[in-house]
Amino acid sequence: MQEKNWGTNAINTWCPGCGNFAILNSIKSVLKSLVADNILAENIVLVSGIGCGAKIVDYINANSVYSIHGRVLPVAEGIKLANPQMKVIGLAGDGDTYGEGMEHLVFAAKRNIDITMIVHNNRVYGLTTGQYTPTSPLGYKGRSTPQGSKETPINPLEIMLASGASFISRGTSTTMELLKKLMREAIMHKGFALVDILQVCVTFFNMYEYYNKNVYELAGHDPADYGKAMQRIREWNYSNTDAKIPLGVFYKKEIPTFEEYYLHLGKETERSQKIHKILENTI
């Protein structure tokens, strides 16, 4: 069988040095590994929103849907409920997800629907030339805040833990091997999974030096411990302080998913088996 080509002929419009390239190469590698493990490519669908990061679906040869700004998760949830066998992966920026889409994010976590949300968190609206987002630090100077943002950033991982997400992780665009590991583990997790990626926008918020200096990978952390997860999540609050930035899986728990409650899959399977038996006996 010929190996699937995950690339496309679309012209890439990202700036040279953009962190999105690392995310693109990582997710293509992960998709390839999933298919190698007998997950059908036609059972994988990518959903993106609006923004620089959202253009990633133009560059991946996979089933994909463009949604409107902030509405990645409603579309992804609809796909999952219509066909629970699908691996549904959302890809969107921090403004798209933590700004316009925050309510949907909270409810997806609360429901524990089996979807993976990958956030390209460059902490700035890059496509619209540099406005601040919910995770921009206090004092960020951009097109909408030339005197510096007067708002403290949110910690999206803390919000996700409080909302009931069953898989919470963070990576960066500068640590690709860890990023691939986190993406794959999130996709294979049964339930709602978030991968927050500290992705650098070289044009409007170049944080390469800051991240390279401050990030470290979690070691000896028990992701099943809710209290410990909250402690590690709060080590860095998305302010540009000298605090070290932990990367890895903060929290992971196996609990029933929304579609299991909503669709009564066990009954459907039993019903399907009865139908097949009737057909076998009559045809």
Dist CA 272 CA 230 (whole Å): 43
pLDDT value at position 134?
A: 95
pLDDT value at position 116?
A: 98
Residue found under tokens 């669908």: 45
Q: Which of 187, 208, 200, 198 is nearest to 247 (CA)?
A: 198
Query: What pTM did the predictor assign?
Result: 0.91
Which residues, 6+ apart, have CB-to-CB distance to 142 below 8 Å? 124, 125, 130, 131, 132, 136, 149, 204, 205
pLDDT value at position 271?
A: 67
Are 223 and 249 in contact by the 8 Å Cβ rule? The answer is: yes
Three-state SS at 15: coil
| pLDDT per position as a tens digit, 83-103 | 999 999 999 999 999 999 999
pLDDT value at position 259?
A: 87
pLDDT value at position 260?
A: 84
Dist CA 154 CA 98 (whole Å): 9
Give me the numbers of helices (H) and strands (E) for the chain, helices first please: 10, 8
- Tally Cβ neighbours within 10 Å of residue 74: 16
Q: How confident is the model at residue 261 (pLDDT cuts 50, 70, 90)?
A: confident
Average pLDDT over residues 112-129: 95
Dist CA 263 CA 83 (whole Å): 10
Q: How confident is the model at residue 279 (pLDDT cuts 50, 70, 90)?
A: confident
pLDDT value at position 89?
A: 98
pLDDT value at position 268?
A: 57
Q: Which of 38, 37, 40 is nearest to 62 (CA)?
A: 40
Average pLDDT over residues 39-66: 95
Higher pLDDT, residue 237 or 276:
237
